[in-house]
Amino acid sequence: MIIVTRPGVTEDEIDQIRERVEAMGLRTHISRGVARVIIGCIGDEERLRHLPLLRFPGVEAVHPVLKPYKLASREFAAASTTVPLGPVQVGGAEFVVVAGPCSVETEETTLATARFVASRGARGFRGGAFKPRTSPYSFRGLGQEGLAILAQARRESGLPVVTEVMDPRQVELVAEYADALQIGSRNMQNFPLLSEVGRTRRPVLLKRGMWATVTDLLLAAEYVMAQGNLQVILCERGIRTFETATRNTFDLAAIPVLKRETHLPVLADPSHGGGRRDLVPPLSFAAAAAGADGLLVEVHPRPEEAWSDGEQSLDFGEFGALMDGLAPFVAAAGRRLAQGPPQAAPPADGGSRVSAE
């Protein structure tokens, strides 16, 4: 249930509403818009049935939230949410590109990639220290050694780090190094993992499961948010269908659907969406035009030598061309694209984070 306040509601009136709702055993969440405040009520709404909420000073309307996801629904927020990724806000006016290798391989290739993508306007650096692989004999990441390399890459490039966490037991360790915790496609419905990252103070990048509906994705986000972490970024990365021409079927329509259904920011992953490097630019342009808040792109200095996903990774020249080609699509969508290297900034939440120094 959401309570919509009148314009000019006072803080005392908001506090009175919250106190009465919480006295009935529900939790409240405040979302402030330009003219109104929305008070979300989380819990057994039957307890509020006989509470005369419309009689409270400052209350304009009361609406039930009929969707199975409450915190993630657009009705629950007075405005679209922006999520901090280092010094930038994902979901704001800037179209945010997060780029880097599929997996952290060596210090040399990782640092070279971080420096280059930063110079071409990337605002985040991606790379897997722990990798879920279909075959147990494939390279599955460097683990904590890879996390240390990512910390070094952040120090040299100024880019905040996004990296995957695969196990609830890894969350505390990965959160010491990462600026944002990625939940991969295979773990989208790993509910203990979702709950654990929800207890952290780190932003969470949640990728759509390859088998998942839009509702499934939003309910997964709800698991994170229900633990108190509202800093969730959604990612459309393609789904499995009967089509074999591409690695996955990139669900372009999911982007405007998500922008309608939720207040959370949405990134697109054209690398996994197509599975081939030649498909990355057109899928990126389409995602920008469809309203995505940014991209998650795989980049490697020598894709033919990459230890994983080389066939869908851009080399440096291709990434530079992508960033040049993106500009008119981003502008047409009413956004701006960053140019040049970023300014380094401390973690947005002020929490601890391992430095490479």
Q: What is the CATH number of the domain that holds 277?
A: 3.20.20.70
Q: Is residue 317 part of a domain?
A: yes
Q: Is residue 17 part of a domain?
A: yes
Q: Is residue 39 part of a domain?
A: yes
43-47, 111-115, 313-317, 342-346: lowest mean pLDDT where? 342-346
**Do 255 and 179 fall within a single domain?**
yes
**Do 184 and 235 fall within a single domain?**
yes
**Do 306 and 233 fall within a single domain?**
yes
**Do 155 and 221 fall within a single domain?**
yes
**Do 56 and 88 fall within a single domain?**
no
Q: Is residue 75 part of a domain?
A: no
In this predicted structure, the answer to whether residue 350 has a pLDDT above a threshold of 50 is no
In this predicted structure, the answer to whether residue 76 has a pLDDT above a threshold of 90 is no
Helix (H/G/I), strand (E/B), else coil: 299? strand
Tell me how many domains the chain contains.
Answer: 2
pLDDT at residue 338 in the model: 78
In this predicted structure, the answer to whether residue 13 has a pLDDT above a threshold of 50 is yes
**Do 202 and 278 fall within a single domain?**
yes
Instruction: Compute how many other C-beta atoms are within 10 angstroms of the C-beta atom of residue 126.
Output: 29
Q: Is residue 93 part of a domain?
A: yes
**Do 110 and 252 fall within a single domain?**
yes
**Do 14 and 48 fall within a single domain?**
yes
Q: Is residue 21 part of a domain?
A: yes
Looking at per-residue pLDDT, the higher value among 354 and 163 belongs to: 163
- The average pLDDT across 181-208 equals 97
**Do 95 and 228 fall within a single domain?**
yes
Domain limits for position 134? 83-337
pLDDT at residue 127 in the model: 95
In this predicted structure, the answer to whether residue 357 has a pLDDT above a threshold of 50 is no
Average pLDDT, the chain: 91
pTM of structure: 0.87
- The average pLDDT across 24-45 equals 86
182: enclosing H helix or E strand: strand 180-183
Helix (H/G/I), strand (E/B), else coil: 230? coil
Q: What percent of the chain has pLDDT over 70?
A: 94
Q: Is residue 347 part of a domain?
A: no
Q: What does the chain come to in residues? A: 357
**Do 25 and 170 fall within a single domain?**
no
- The average pLDDT across 40-49 equals 84
CA pair distance 260, 254, nearest whole angstrom: 10
**Do 27 and 115 fall within a single domain?**
no
Match 């990337």 to its residue by tokens.
122
Q: Is residue 239 part of a domain?
A: yes
**Do 228 and 151 fall within a single domain?**
yes
pLDDT at residue 348 in the model: 43
- Report the phi/psi class of residue 141: left, alpha or beta, with left for phi > 0 and alpha for psi in -120 to 50: left
38: enclosing H helix or E strand: strand 37-42
